[in-house]
Structure 1
């Protein structure tokens, strides 16, 4: 985060941006509980299935 704030043009994005894309792809919402917990509850097969839908 410190590197990103110092030189945002050197990096393509922030990990929070990636997390938001995953959150929307998996749940269809922008506001959810912890993403890791959501994925654990959904299970591997359902997570993979939903991610493949959005490729």
Structure 2
């Protein structure tokens, strides 16, 4: 049991940050950063292009 805890404490930095120093986030940092790109819409409607008005023949 103590050996299992030692493995976690010895590798805690890697488990939290991954290889962030090498430019590759991982661990808990990647887990927390991943959902940030999937934000819900803000409630604003998408801009729609204007409908062209057809002129009547004179």
Q: TM-score category by the smaller chain?
A: under 0.3
Greater RCO, 1 or 2 (C-alpha within 8 Å, sep 6+): 1
Which of the two has higher C-alpha Rg? 2
If each structure's helix is expressed as a fraction of its own residues, which one has the higher value? Answer: 1
Q: Give 1 or 2: higher strand fraction.
A: 2
TM-score of the pair, normalised by structure 2: 0.23
